[in-house]
């Protein structure tokens, strides 16, 4: 029997949302509000930038101090915009990665400067071909810089890099990265969408991941690991699911992850198109209420 949940971290794409570019379902929105009212701290844990994630929650009655774990754990901010923590990626490492990863697909780097040109790339056409929905969603934040190395000329550190392309391209990109001099200078996380023949290789500051950020957030809030839950659907959620006292894998996760759920002790939720997050939150709220009786 798991302890009643006090903190839950929820992935966004493939988990909270029924599809990329789609809004939260009414049931999921109500479940987020109800969880907060029941005393559960709800946090988003996403590879998205904070400015790309916060509009998803517009119109909901959620607390301004709701935590947002963004950029795969590099940034921790509140829904109201207060900065809680961030980890920076050295500009010289990003500059070196440009030459290494340029041949493999769309290459993007992100700065933590909300309201400005946070996202830089040099080949907008390739990005439109590889990740058209992402380009459309981020269009107001994108700056084109040619060559991309010039984006780091002033020495400003950043928070995340991202290479994206077909599955075969990203497998080669991963091999090149692991064999490069930069392999020990940053972390990487994968997100794979087999049905779209698309993969994302996120490049992060050393020691950064969703799981590490969740651990720091729990410590900040004075909550024990046993009181935490994490809900996710993809490879970049694995360490978060592993660290949480209660890991929950979405039913729409790839087969390899679903096969891992039993051996890792993760619960299996309904899919993202079946309001899986709402189902899990409603059960967590019921457990918390029963514990108080």
Show me where the domains of the chain are located: 7-86+208-292, 91-204
- pTM, rounded to two decimals: 0.91
Mean pLDDT of successive 10-residue segments in the chain (293 residues)? 87 93 93 97 95 92 97 95 92 93 92 81 90 86 94 88 93 94 90 89 93 97 97 96 98 94 95 97 92 69
Q: Note the pLDDT of residue 114.
A: 63
Give 211's strand partners. Answer: none
Burial 273-291 (b: 16+ CB within 10 A, else e): eebbbbbbbbebbeebeee
Q: Which residues contact 66 (CB under 8 A, 6 or more apart)?
A: 36, 41, 42, 43, 44, 57, 78, 79, 80
- Which CATH architecture describes the domain 91-204? 2-Layer Sandwich (3.30)
CATH class of domain segment(s) 7-86+208-292: alpha beta
Q: What are phi and psi of 282, to 5 degrees?
A: -60, -40
Question: What is the Cα–Cα distance from 91 to 42, expressed in whole angstroms?
Answer: 33
The SS3 of residue 1 is coil
Q: What are phi and psi of 231, to 5 degrees?
A: -125, 125
């Amino acid at each position: 029997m798991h302890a009643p949940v006090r903190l839950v971290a929820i992935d966004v794409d493939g988990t909270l949302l029924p599809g990329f570019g789609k809004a939260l379902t009414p049931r999921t929105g109500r479940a987020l509000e109800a969880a907060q009212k029941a005393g559960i701290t709800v946090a988003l844990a996403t590879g998205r930038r904070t400015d790309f994630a916060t509009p998803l929650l517009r119109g909901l009655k959620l607390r301004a101090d709701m935590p947002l774990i963004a950029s795969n754990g590099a940034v921790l901010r509140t829904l109201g915009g207060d900065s809680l923590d961030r980890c920076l990626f050295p500009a010289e490492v990003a500059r070196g990665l440009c030459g290494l990863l340029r041949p493999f697909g769309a290459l993007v780097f992100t700065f933590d400067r909300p309201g400005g040109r946070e996202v830089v790339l040099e080949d907008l056409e390739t990005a439109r071909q590889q990740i058209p929905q992402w380009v459309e969603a981020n269009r107001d934040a994108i700056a084109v810089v040619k060559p991309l190395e010039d984006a780091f000329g002033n020495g400003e550190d950043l928070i995340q890099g991202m290479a994206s392309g077909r599955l075969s391209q990203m497998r080669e990109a991963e091999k090149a990265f692991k064999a490069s001099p930069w392999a020990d200078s940053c972390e990487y996380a994968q997100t794979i969408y087999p049905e779209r023949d698309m993969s994302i290789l996120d490049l992060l500051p050393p020691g950064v991941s969703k799981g590490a950020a969740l651990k720091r957030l729990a410590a900040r809030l004075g909550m024990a690991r046993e009181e935490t839950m994490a809900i996710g659907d993809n490879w970049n959620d694995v360490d978060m699911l592993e660290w949480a006292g209660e890991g929950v894998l979405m039913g729409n996760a790839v087969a390899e992850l679903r096969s891992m759920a039993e051996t890792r002790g993760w619960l299996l939720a309904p899919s993202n198109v079946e309001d899986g997050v709402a189902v899990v939150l409603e059960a967590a709220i019921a457990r918390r209420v029963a514990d108080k009786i």
